[in-house]
Amino acid sequence: MNEVIINEVGPRDGLQSQQVILPPEQRIDLINALFAAGLTNIEVGSFVSPTAVPQMAGTDAVARGISVPVGANVSALIPNRKGYELARRSGVDTVAVVVSATETMNEKNIRMSLAQVMDVAEDIIARGSQEGAKVQAYLAVAFECPFEGKVDPTRVYELGGRLLEAGARELVIADTIGAADPKQVRSLMEWLVGAHGASRLACHFHDTRAMGLANVYAALESGVRRFDAAIGGLGGCPFAPGAKGNVATEDVVMMCEQLGYRTGINLDDLLPIVEAVSEVLGAKVGGRAFSWLKQRAA
């Protein structure tokens, strides 16, 4: 398949750790601009406590205020059953549940054990199936945990298999702190693709150790065609020490298009959005190829 689907997570994962808090109106403008640049899959926010993550306050207003093109898909992260209900009432049909692969990360992230988080996730997946909602299951810290260290791949196989068997439409393998290398990625994703098929798998990489793009390439070679990315390389988890920005959308688009894959995203339209985000955040953002891309577009 020559098409690569990029799920833009900048409006959620990209903004949730920023010191500058964008109001819903600015987030709506950002998302609409991303749609105009050709993005068709965008994570618009999360239905979490605004006390815990004030950057995501007003996600319901964002979901209701954006102009979603025909055929496009919006998603939102939810931490629990209440979050699911809030998302559905706001018109969000695709929800993302997060299960961390280690006990400590679950406890630090949402104060629940791994078993409890799996119970909640499987319940939400079942409810989504009954109510016509698409549920994405994220398996966080799938390669390394900031608290427990390296994660045994067999745990990822087991947990991922359970989530898919429960009915998750998509399993997203997340390198939450950017600790993976291409060899690890290829080994893990080849096994998962062989066991479950590529159509229900996606990857989420951070660029902490400058391996984000190489890891995307390794996953591509394994057959994966769905990836999370954030404009300008924004991101970082407030509950995961050491987590840096996501792999940059513009970098992923550039590489995929150069390799002959179709993304449907217009880089010339995307670059001004990165510059606008830099301005509103008061900090320079941009992927590793941003300067070169700007020179090429000039």
Supply the residues annotated as catalytic. Answer: 237
CA separation (Å) from 160 to 122, 147, 164? Answer: 12, 21, 6
**How, if at all, do strands 5-8 and 41-46 pair?**
parallel
Distance in angstroms (rounded) separating the CA atoms of residues 94 and 128: 9
Question: Which one-letter amino acid corresponds to residue 269?
Answer: D
Q: Tell me if 104 sits within 8 A of 145, measured CB to CB.
A: yes
CA separation (Å) from 33 to 69, 162, 210? Answer: 11, 37, 28
The total of other beta-carbon atoms located within 10 Å of residue 167's CB is 15
Give me 223's structure tokens: 């057959």
Q: Tell me if 96 sits within 8 A of 78, measured CB to CB.
A: yes
Q: Tell me if 19 sits within 8 A of 54, measured CB to CB.
A: no
